[in-house]
Amino acid sequence: MSTSRSFRTGTSRAVLALMVVASAGCQMFGGSCLADAPTSCPPNPPTYAQVQPILGHACVLCHAPDAQLSTLPLDTYEAVFARRDAAEKLVSTCAMPRDGVLLSDEERRTLLNWFVCDAPR
Ligand code: HEC
């Protein structure tokens, strides 16, 4: 009896841990990722200078010539600009960043506003 009880506890802990990992990207921001993604470019859009530190801590650790995704670098303006459409989609759906790397609400908004304005310099 006690064996099966502790097995069940262990299983539900594992399931809970998986759910936390899988949903952390979206649910931390209060529901649907798409709902708070901007649909049009706001006045005074952010510049690359404002976005670069965000990319630096949330993306470049995986996306750089000397990192895991050396063929998908996001460490220069040109590299990000070339992938801006895919990046916007992935950030707006909370598919990126991933593996426990998170953006604050403010960072996510800045990044999405920049993408929706077509990634100005
Ligand atoms: C922990 C590592 C990690 C972090 C952090 C990360 N990525 Fe990724 N990214 C990946 C992996 C792995 C892939 C390729 C496999 C996949 O698509 O699932 C990928 C793929 C991509 C792609 C290419 C998708 C395509 O189909 O062309 C883009 C664009 C991207 N990431 C953008 C970003 C942006 C923007 C950030 C930061 C906000 C970011 N990533 C943060 C690991 C990461």
Does 121 map to a domain?
Answer: no
46-78, pLDDT tens digit by residue?
Answer: 999 999 999 999 999 999 999 999 999 999 999
Give the residue, by CA position, lying nearest to ligand 1 atom 18: 95
Tens digits of per-residue pLDDT, 14-48? 544 444 444 444 444 445 666 778 999 999 999 99
Give the structural domain span for 93.
2-116
Please state the domain count of the chain.
Answer: 1
Q: What is the pTM of this model?
A: 0.80
CA distance 101 to 58: 6
CA angle 40, 44, 47 (to 5 degrees): 95
In the reported structure, the alpha carbon of residue 6 is separated from the centroid of ligand 1 by a whole-number distance in angstroms of 38
User: What CA–CA distance (Å, rounded) separates 82 from 87?
Assistant: 10
**Distance between CA atoms of residues 74 and 16, nearest Å:** 32
What is the spatial distance between Cα 9 and Cα 50, in angstroms, rounded to a whole number? 46
**Which structure tokens are listed for 120?**
């100005």
Looking at the domain assignment, is residue 29 inside a domain? yes
- pLDDT at residue number 36: 79
Residues 75-98, mean pLDDT to the nearest whole number: 97
Indicate whether 30 belongs to any domain.
Answer: yes
> Residue with the nearest Cα to atom 3 of ligand 1?
62
pLDDT: is 12 or 45 the higher one? 45
pLDDT of residue 39: 92
Give the pLDDT confidence score for residue 14 in this predicted structure: 53
Q: Which amino acid is at 94?
A: C
pLDDT of residue 35: 75
- Pocket residues: Cβ below 6 A from ligand 1: 58-59, 61-63, 69, 72, 74, 83, 86-87, 90-91, 96-99, 101
User: What DSSP state is assigned to residue 34?
Assistant: G
Other beta carbons within 10 Å of 111: 25
So what's the pLDDT on residue 15?
A: 47
Q: Is 80 exceeded by the pLDDT of residue 91?
A: yes
Tokens describing residue 60: 């470049």
61 in a structural domain: yes
What number does the ligand 1 atom closest to the CA of 86 have?
29
Closest protein CA for atom 38 of ligand 1? 97
52 found inside a domain:
yes
